[in-house]
Structure 1
Amino acid sequence: MGFKCSGRKFLARPQHEGVGAVVRRSIGRFELKYFDPFLVLDEFSVTAPAGFPDHPHRGFETVTYMLQGAVTHEDFEGHKGTIEAGDLQWMTAGRGIVHSEMPASQGTQKGLQLWINLSSKYKMMEPRYQEMLSKDIAEGVEDGIKVRVIAGEALGIKSPIQTKTPTMYLDFTLKPGSHLQQPIPKSWNAFAYVLEGEGVFGNPKSQPANSHHILLLGAGDGLEVWNKSSNKVLRFILVGGEPLGEPLVQFGPFVMNTQEEIDQTISDFENCVNGFEKARHWRSEAAVGLDF
């Protein structure tokens, strides 16, 4: 196995997003606008009444993985549910969705949201959801390493999540002194994002990375990670995906292949047609009373 080296590394700094919410954005910012096929990675923190009220999407998938607290999701198709700590929602926006994501409990809600681009042949597919409760996400433990397999495979465990863009999404916790070797398809782009502790990625002599840092992984077909701490666990997500290699034009929550398609999407949304018909009369329950 030719292990991937640790390439670019930087700290995801807090910024405001939504209505009163704070996110640490590592992909989709000035330094890293796109990491094919990944459009955005946010580590979000939100306390009521702040949140992400009614907003549209087209042309990609959103993956919401809760770390603390809970968020309630509503959309114009009548779908509603609460994503609690450890739960997962994999939403394929496809041709169009309008939804809200708002705090569902007291205190601060924290989680990760990843946007994954869709190839041109899937951008106008019907929206769909795949949701998993925390108890249903497969976990494996081996030699001081625990993994939650959200998408893809690790330690011989496969996730049932079906991804239109081939993707792996793994949540690793390494005990002090442990060492991980995880295969990654050689042609894929991959990154690690540190949630807790400090780890050495790609090369045992490289500088360690700690919380809120993203590491873009270089060429190779696997990743090595060391937790050299004597008393603290290391927790990080490892995400990889097959690059689409297609033209990309983005306008906020709309991601298509050409400017003409973006113009058409804006027109569709403004006129509530071609996938956005139900947006004309819909408003989420969470949005009632909010001024936005």
Structure 2
Amino acid sequence: MHHRDSMGYEDTVSDGGVQWMCAGSGVMHEETIPAAKRLLGVQLWLNMPAAEKMTRPHYHAIRGADIETIRIEGGELRLLAGRYVDAEGRLHVGYQGEHLPLDYYDLGVEPGKTVAIDVDEDRSVLAFTLEGSARVGGLPVGPKTAVRLEGGDRVVIEGKDERAQVLLMSSKRLDEPVAWGGPIVMSTREELMDAFRELEDGSFLKEGSLRD
């Protein structure tokens, strides 16, 4: 997938890679999808605190080869972002965003095996079955299904007859209002309408190029 944007970034994301983009005060971007027999990807939107929504936009790419894969009981964990403490107490550190703590794991759950992941009780937690099906928190979850989890400090994922790939995300709970319209997310309806007016009059983009 080829990316380019109004900040001047141009990048190609290949197998196993991740792109992080902070939209901040506003950015225009496009992703061009090449012809392929099979292409599988996920886009995750993370709401920013109201006080930081107008920060400078930023882009960061991570190659698949640079993402750590950790063997865990019942399968493996690719550390897409944040931190993970393994069974021996070793701390593994992945990409760290500037605005919110985010632990983002790509879990491979072996058939008939169980993966257990500790999470902070005060975080918002989401699981998504990217490939295959599994039992999450004791409930059956089919392929391509998102599950929001509440309460407790551990997520238990049980594999079925085939290997499952499950994305597990946890981040700080903001408990702030969200105003969402198309590609724009703000905190109030008034802010959202202002942003759309700026799109129409050409004043939406407020920052120039910013590179790593």
Would you say same fold, with TM above 0.5?
yes
Quote how far apart the aligned CAs of 1:150 are: 0.8
In structure 2, the residue corresponding to 1:115 is in which secondary structure?
coil
Whether 1:226 and 2:158 are equivalent positions in the alignment is: yes
Q: Which whole-Å CA distance do the structure 2 matches of 1:160 and 1:277 have between them? A: 24
CA contact 1:96–1:275 (8 Å) conserved in 2: yes
CA shift, 1:265, in A, is 1.1
Q: Tell me how far apart the structure 2 counterparts of residues 163 and 139 of structure 1 sit (CA, whole Å).
A: 23
1:264 and 2:194 matched: yes
Q: Deviations over 1:175-206 (max 9, x none)?
A: 12322111111011112111222211213xx4
Q: Displacement of 1:212 after TM fit?
A: 1.1
Q: What number of residue pairs does the alignment pair up?
A: 203
Shift of 1:262: 1.6
- Structure 1 pair 178/223, CA: closer, same or farther in 2 (3 Å)? same
Deviations 1:133-155 (A, max 9, x none): 00001110133411001112233
2:185 to 236, 255, 266: 255
> Structure 2: how far apart are the matches of 1:76 and 1:235?
34
Q: How does 1:42-57 map to 2 (within 5 A)?
A: none
Moved more, 82-91 or 237-246: 237-246
Q: Is the CA contact (8 Å cut-off) linking 1:183 and 1:222 kept in structure 2?
A: yes
Residues 76 and 99 of structure 1 are in contact (CA less than 8 Å); yes or no, is this contact kept in structure 2?
A: yes
Query: CA separation in 2, counterparts of 1:143 and 1:255?
Result: 38
Q: TM-score, normalised by structure 2?
A: 0.88
Would you say 1:160 and 2:98 are equivalent positions?
A: no
Matched, 1:83 2:18: no
Letter of the 2:153 partner, please give it. Answer: D
Q: CA RMSD in A?
A: 1.8
| Identical columns (%) | 28
2:24 to 91, 94, 98: 94
Per the alignment, residue 273 of structure 1 pairs with: 203
1:120 equivalent in alignment to 2:50: yes
1:171 matched residue in structure 2: 106
- For 2:133, give the aligned amino acid: E
Residue by residue over 1:20-44, the C-alpha shift from the partner in whole angstroms, topping out at 9 and shown as x without a partner, is xxxxxxxxxxxxxxxxxxxxxxxxx
Q: TM-score, normalised by structure 1?
A: 0.65
- Any idea what SS the aligned residue of 2:111 has? coil
Tell me the distance in 2 between the aligned counterparts of 1:165 and 1:82. 25
**1:163, distance to aligned residue in structure 2 (A):** 4.5
1:241 aligns with 2:171: yes
Contact 1:269-1:276 at 8 Å conserved across structures: no
8 Å contact 1:176–1:227 — kept in the other structure? yes
Conservation of the 8 A alpha-carbon contact between 1:150 and 1:161:
no
Partner of 2:75: 145
Higher strand share: 1
- Residue segments in structure 1 that go unaligned for 5+ positions in a row: 1-70, 279-292
Kindly indicate whether the alpha-carbon contact (under 8 Å) linking 2:57 and 2:207 is maintained by their aligned counterparts in 1: no
Indicate if the aligned counterparts of 1:72 and 1:102 stay in contact, CA closer than 8 A: yes
User: Unpaired segments of 5 or more residues in structure 2?
Assistant: none
Question: Structure 1 residue 169: deviation in Å?
Answer: 1.0
The Cα of 1:274 is off from its aligned counterpart by 5.3
